[in-house]
Chain A
Amino acid sequence: MADVVVEQGRLARIATPRKRGTSLRNVLGRKSTVAFFLTLPLILLIVLLVLYPAFYSLYLATLNKAMTKFVGLGNFTFLFKRETFWMVVKQSCIFAVTAVIFKALIGFIVAHFVHNIPGKKQRKWRGMLLVPWVIPPAMSTLAWLWLFDPSYSAFNYTLSFFGVGPIPWLGDTFWARFSVILVNVWYGAPFFLIMYLAALKSVPDQLYEAASIDGANWWQKIWHITLPMMRNIIAITTLFSLIVTFANFDIVRILTSGGPLDTTHLFATWAFQVGIQSSDIPLGACVSLFMVPILAVAAIFILRDVNKRGNEA
C-alpha cells in the first residue's frame, strides 16, 4: 500500500519536466539507492568493528603465544587440561544463573510494590530504585569494595552489633562468590524492575477486577493473570540479562580481580588476565570464545521471540 503511494509520488515527480534530471540523478534518487547510502555507515560499523573482530578472534585462537605459528586446536586442548579453566566455567555458570534468578525475583517483587503505589509518588520511588542502574558499574563497585573492606568494613561494623563475627567478604571463596553475585544483583535488579513495571502497566485492570469479583486471591491473580500476561517480557528480559551477566567484566575485575585463588574469575576477567596482562593474546581469545555457544543459544531464543513480536505488529 505504502509502496504504491510512494511509487506514485516518484512517478509524479519524474513526470513533471522541471524535476526531470540526468540518469545519474535518477539512480541517486531511487529508493533502494537512498536506503543503501543511509544504512552504509551502520553496515560498515558492524562489519568492520564487530563481525571482522569476531572472526579474527577465531583465527587468533589458533596461533601460538608469539603469534608466529599455527597450532590448530592446541590452545583449546591446553585449556581443557587446566584446572583453572574448569573453575572458570563452573564459576561463570554459578554466577550468571544465580545472579539472574535473584535479579528476576527481586525485580518482579519490587515492580509489584511500585505498581501498587498510586500516581505521582510512584515516579519518585521508581526514580530512587533505578539509581544503581544509572551509576557506572565501575564506580558503584568501588563503593562496594569499600563496604567490604577487611579492616574498616562498614558491613562488619554493623554486623558486630548483632554478634555476627567479622566476615572475610572478599578473602574467602564462598564469601567472595557471594559478594560478586550480590553486587551484580544490586546493579542489575533495577533493569528487571523497570521492564516488569512496563509490562505490568500493560495488563488491563479489568482482568484483575473480574478476577476479584470471581473471588480469586492474591496468589491466584499473580499466577493466572500477571504471569501469563508478562510471559514474553519475562522471557526476553531474563535471556537478555543472562547474556550480559555471563559476559560481565567490571564487577569481578574491580571487586576481586578473580581472587582468591582464581575462584571468582569469569570468562571475561580471565581472558583479560591471560590475554592482556600476561600478553598471551591467542589463549585470551580462546578463553573469551567459550562464551560464544552460550550467547548463541540465548540469542536464538531471543530472536525467535523478537521475530514473533514483529509478525504480530
Chain B
Amino acid sequence: MSTLAIDKAGPSRKVKLRSMSRDRTWALRWSYFFLVLFAIFFLTPPVYMLITSLKSSAEISAATNPWWVFHPTLSNYVELLTSNQFLGFFWNSSMISIIVVIVTMLISIPAAFALARMKFWGSATLATGVFLTYLIPDSLLFIPLFKMLAVVQEFTGITLLNRWYVLVFIYPTLTVPFCTWIMIGYFASIPKELDEAALIDGASWLQTLTRIFIPVALPGLIAATIFAFTVSWAQFLYPLVFTTSVDQLVLPVGITTTLIKGDVFNWGQIMTGALLGAAPPLIIYAFLMDYYIAGLTAGATKG
C-alpha cells in the first residue's frame, strides 16, 4: 500500500500517469454524454406531466408542439386543489400512509431488535421467513384477502370492504417485512459492547432498545420510514380492489377512475393530479435521498 503511494509520486511514473489522466478525461466526457441521453429517457414522462399540467384543454387538443407550453395557466391546479373530491383522495392517502408508517415502526422495530440481538428458539427461521414474506407479491394475495374481508364482514357485521381504513391493516404486509429486514441489518451493525454494557448496568431489554438502539440506528429508522411511506403512498392494487365509493378512494385509484370520464380524457387535469400525487414522495426524496438509497441498498447488500 504505502510503497505503491510512494511509487506513484516517483518521477519515473509521470508519463504513465498523464496518459492515464487523459484516458480518464475522455471516459468522463463519454460518461456525461451518455448520462445526458439516459437522463432524457428517465425524465421525459415527469417533465411531460409538468408541461401538460400547465396547459388549458384548448391548447392540449390544438395541433401545436406538444413539448412546449404557449399559454401557461394554473387553472388545472386551481380546479383540482379546490375540488373536494380530489382533496378527499389526498386526505385518505395521507391518513393511510401516516398510520401505516406508525404501525410499521411499532411492529418492525421491536421485532428487528429481538431478531438481531436476542438469539432464541426459531429466530433464524423467523428472520428468513420475514424475508420470504417480502417476496410474496400483492398480486398473489389480493383475491384471498378480498374474500377474507367479505367473510369477516358477513359474520361480524363490521364493514370492512369499501372503507379506506381497512387498507391500514393490509398495507403493513407490504411494509413490515422489508422494514424489519433493513432494521435487522442496522441493529446488527451496532457494536455488541454498547448493549452488553447497558445490560450489565442493569438496563432492561426495553430500555436497551429505546435508549441505545433507536438513537444509534436512527439513519436506518429514517430509511425504513421513508420506504414505508412511499410504498403505502404508491399502492394501487389493494385500494383498487377493496374500495369503490368515491369518498373512500386513495390518490392513485381516485385519479385513474374519476378523472377519466367514459372515453373523455381530461389530460390536463389527469397530469396535474398525477403530478400532485407524485409530489410527496418526490419532495421527501429530494431532502432525504441518501437515507432512501441507504434503505434500498441495505436490504440486498447487508446480510
User: A9-B199, A129-B38, A236-B300 given as contacts; is B169 within 8 A of A146 (CB)?
Assistant: no
Chain A 25-43, CB-CB to B under 8 Å as 1, else 0, gives 0000101101110110111
A99 within 8 A of B: no
Say what secondary structure dominates the interface of chain B. Answer: helix
A137 to B256 Cα, complex, angstroms? 12
A34 adjacent to B205 (CB under 8 Å): yes
Q: Is the C-beta of B45 less than 8 angstroms from some C-beta in chain A?
A: yes
Chain B, 35-56, contact with A by CB distance < 8 Å: what is the 0/1 string?
1001101111110110010000
In the complex, the answer to whether A143 meets B45 with C-beta atoms within 8 Å is yes
- Flag if B301 contacts A199 (CB, 8 Å): yes
Given the known interface contacts A41-B111, A134-B282, the answer about A129 and B45 at a Cβ–Cβ threshold of 8 Å is no
Q: Which residues of B contact A24 (CB under 8 A)?
A: none
**Given A42-B107, A195-B300, A306-B128, CB of A212 within 8 Å of CB of B20:** yes
Q: For residue A186, which residues in chain B have a CB less than 8 angstroms away from its CB?
A: 41-42, 45
Contact size range, A: 35 or more
Which B145-203 residues have a C-beta within 8 angstroms of A?
145-148, 169-170, 172-173, 176-177, 180, 188, 192, 196, 199-200, 202
Contact of A134 with B230 in the complex, beta carbons under 8 Å: yes
Query: B137 to chain A: which residues have CB within 8 Å?
Result: 243-244, 247, 268, 291, 295
Whether B41 contacts A299 by the Cβ 8 Å rule is no
Q: Is the CB of B106 within 8 A of A41?
A: yes
Given contacts A54-B136, A134-B282, A288-B139, contact A206 B4 (CB under 8 A): yes
Chain B contact-residue range equals 35 or more
| Chain B nearest Cβ from A53, distance in angstroms | 4
Q: Which residues of B contact A306 (CB under 8 A)?
A: 128, 131, 303
- CB-defined contacts of A272 to chain B, threshold 8 Å: 139, 142, 237, 240-241
Scan residues 123-151 of chain A and give those whose CB is less than 8 A from a CB of chain B: 123, 125-132, 134-140, 142-144, 146-147, 149
Cα–Cα distance between A139 and B276 once the two chains are bound (Å): 9
Complex CA–CA separation, A302 to B181 (angstroms): 14
Residues of B within 8 A of A60 (CB): 143-144, 147
A261: Cβ under 8 A from any B Cβ: no
**Stretch in contact with the other chain, from A74-82, A109-117, A164-172, A173-181:** A109-117
A49 is an interface residue with CB less than 8 A from chain B: yes
Is B120 within 8 A of A303, CB to CB? no
A95 at the interface (CB under 8 A from B): no
* B180 lies within 8 A of A42 (CB): yes
**Contact between chains at B66 and A46 (CB < 8 Å):** no
Complex: how many Å from CA A114 to CA B136?
A: 32
| Contact between chains at B234 and A136 (CB < 8 Å) | yes
Give 7 pairs: A residue, B residue, CB < 8 Å, sorted on A. Answer: A57-B144, A149-B265, A157-B65, A202-B301, A271-B139, A272-B240, A303-B131
Q: Can you name 15 extra interface pairs (CB under 8 A) apart from A13-B202, A206-B4? A: A3-B119, A114-B35, A137-B234, A140-B45, A146-B49, A154-B67, A157-B65, A195-B297, A268-B139, A271-B139, A272-B241, A291-B140, A295-B136, A295-B137, A306-B303
B interface residues, Cβ below 8 angstroms from A: 1, 4, 20, 27-28, 30-32, 34-35, 38-39, 41-46, 48-49, 52, 60-61, 65-67, 106-108, 110-111, 113-115, 118-121, 123, 126, 128-133, 135-148, 169-170, 172-173, 176-177, 180, 188, 192, 196, 199-200, 202, 204-206, 230, 233-234, 236-237, 240-241, 251-253, 255-256, 265, 267, 270-271, 274-275, 277-278, 281-282, 285-286, 289, 292-293, 296-297, 300-301, 303
Q: Top 8 A-B pairs ranked by shortest CB distance?
A: A268-B139, A136-B234, A247-B137, A138-B252, A53-B144, A57-B144, A42-B111, A143-B45
